[in-house]
Amino acid sequence: MDPLKALADAERKPYWLDSPAKPEPLARLFGTTTADLAVVGGGFTGLWTALMAKERDPSLDVVLLEGRRIGWAASGRNGGFAMATLTHGIANGLERWPDEIATLERLGVENLDEIGETVARYDIDCGYERTGELNVATEPWQLAEMNESLEIARELGVRIDVLDRDQVRAEVNSPTYIGGHWDRDGCAMLDPARLAWGLRQACLSLGVRVYERTPVRTMKDTGASLDLLTPHGTVRARRVALGTGVFQPLLRRLKHFLVPVYDYALMTEPLSAEQLASVGWRNRQGVGDSANQFHYYRLTGDNRILWGGYDAVYYNGGRIKPEYEQRDETFVKLAEHFAATFPQLSGLRFTHRWGGVIDTCSRFSAFFGHSHGGRVAYAAGYTGMGVGATRFGANVMLDLLAGERTERTELRMVKEKPLPFPPEPVRSAGIQMTRWSIAQADLHEGRRNLWLRTLDKMGLGFDS
Ligand SMILES: Cc1cc2nc3c(=O)[nH]c(=O)nc-3n(C[C@H](O)[C@H](O)[C@H](O)COP(=O)(O)OP(=O)(O)OC[C@H]3O[C@@H](n4cnc5c(N)ncnc54)[C@H](O)[C@@H]3O)c2cc1C
């Protein structure tokens, strides 16, 4: 089917958030209140922080302030791949922290296990399935790159099944695949909006006071308290955890480390039994292809296919605007790539198209820190892999706020900051040059030009 036809009826909103399970909004904050801990941001980072603060100490008085609705941003509109990796993949972690990669991998698996346990404990209905991830190659150079990190992954105890052309197609049937790696344990699929709403409910059940539609405009240190000023009220807090993602930070220093990158996705209508049989996919893994500009895709509970990725767009100037959540040029490209990957599904229509903003930092994996004498902590920069890692970030923030030295806080990964991005307009020029170079590398068997090689040497990069 012509991609324009397949897209013709697709609604312009995130599929996951367009759900009857969406809860009614909670009240705004009016007046002045106090808290032992105030959490700013109602995405996964903030929700996990509030929940685990109460789990650690039920007597703590915890307030969560969300500027809009819980989970409306990246957390409720992503691919729903909850990855074990804390470092945006083993290769990135190994390059940056070779001496602690084994610990990071273990902590990542523990973190994902604990996400599964929490989902079960609070009975969160978010379609959690630990099906693993299938990385597929569509060109020989991709296979060679995948094989490079295979040995080290296995040494670190990651079980990876190497599949040849026929084996990978027996899992998921696309004529474009030439091989693949199946990491059976390192990833779970879930419905991200229902996870966010479930975590909201879990927080409420433990006594967290959650205010929605309550943006924090400024944070003032009075000495006696940290005052969070919102349009109709103030929270006087002893400690503050910032889970504000890529949005205007309350701490100026964070601005230099984060850039907003837009990522886009499509959702198909549910596949019929016959259509599903033509693709196989009995093991329901998440799938990612392996070019630099990659697609990620997966089945939903009712057997739709979410198909996203490829373009990672930085709008010059680095602004965040609602209109950037729609990009027809990208949607058409995604629909064409879908048709090439699954020609047997010709005729299948898309029901939703949307985009969302990612908190990209130059090392592709989250950074952490504290300020105000240890009374404020932050975690951000997950760069497109935060569904699982945000829970780790929340634990780091709670360790830092408690002034505790833990295995987490002693990691170099936690102590070190990424390189800052240069100021505009150099920032935009550099990012666009990098995006162009990445696209060129994909066209030329993965060969990286001088610009990318220089960035690689500096440990700088751009990813989604
Ligand atoms: C299209 C897309 C696909 C993705 N796919 C995946 C995937 O499959 N797997 C994966 O691991 N990751 C994926 N990601 C990334 C993942 O969604 C994020 O890493 C993660 O959700 C980040 O969570 P967060 O809580 O830090 O930020 P956010 O979800 O952005 O939440 C931040 C919240 O803070 C609030 N806030 C900000 N400032 C204030 C303030 N001053 N006062 C009050 N509230 C404030 C915002 O309103 C927002 O709700 C994807 C992202 C996108 C956009």
Consecutive sets of 10 residues in the chain, 464 residues long: mean pLDDT of each? 91 98 97 98 98 98 98 98 96 93 97 98 98 96 88 89 97 97 96 98 98 98 97 98 97 94 97 98 96 92 97 92 97 97 97 97 95 97 96 98 97 96 86 84 83 78 70
Question: What's the pLDDT at 427?
Answer: 86
Of the candidates 313, 312, 288, 290, the residue with the CA atom closest to the CA atom of residue 298: 288
Percentage helix, strand, coil, to 5, in the chain?
35, 25, 40
Q: Residue 284 Cα, ligand 1 centroid: separation in angstroms?
A: 25
Q: Whose CA is nearest to atom 18 of ligand 1?
A: 386
Question: What's the pLDDT at 439?
Answer: 84
Q: Residue 367 Cα, ligand 1 centroid: separation in angstroms?
A: 15
Q: What is the DSSP letter of 75?
A: G
Question: What's the pLDDT at 164?
Answer: 96
Residues 386 and 16: their CA atoms lie apart, in Å, by: 17
Question: What's the pLDDT at 148?
Answer: 84
**Residue 28, CA distances (Å) to 21, 22, 118, 244, 268 in order:** 21, 17, 27, 18, 36
Q: Residue 75 Cα, ligand 1 centroid: separation in angstroms?
A: 4
Q: Residue 387 Cα, ligand 1 centroid: separation in angstroms?
A: 9
Ligand 1 pocket, Cβ-based, cut-off 6 angstroms: 40-46, 65-68, 72-75, 77-81, 83, 215-216, 243-245, 247, 250, 263, 265, 296, 308, 356-358, 382, 384-388, 390
Q: Whose CA is nearest to atom 52 of ligand 1?
A: 78
Residues 366 and 360: their CA atoms lie apart, in Å, by: 9
Question: What's the pLDDT at 360?
Answer: 94
**Residue 130, CA distances (Å) to 119, 236, 262, 291 in order:** 12, 41, 27, 24
Residues 70 and 47: their CA atoms lie apart, in Å, by: 9
Q: Residue 12 Cα, ligand 1 centroid: separation in angstroms?
A: 19
Question: What's the pLDDT at 145?
Answer: 86
Question: What's the pLDDT at 428?
Answer: 86
Question: What's the pLDDT at 119?
Answer: 98
For the chain, give the number of residues. Answer: 464
Q: Could you identify the atom of ligand 1 that is nearest to the CA of residue 248?
A: 38
Q: Could you identify the atom of ligand 1 that is nearest to the CA of residue 387?
A: 11
How many Cβ atoms are within 10 Å of 59's Cβ, its own excluded?
7
Question: What's the pLDDT at 293?
Answer: 85
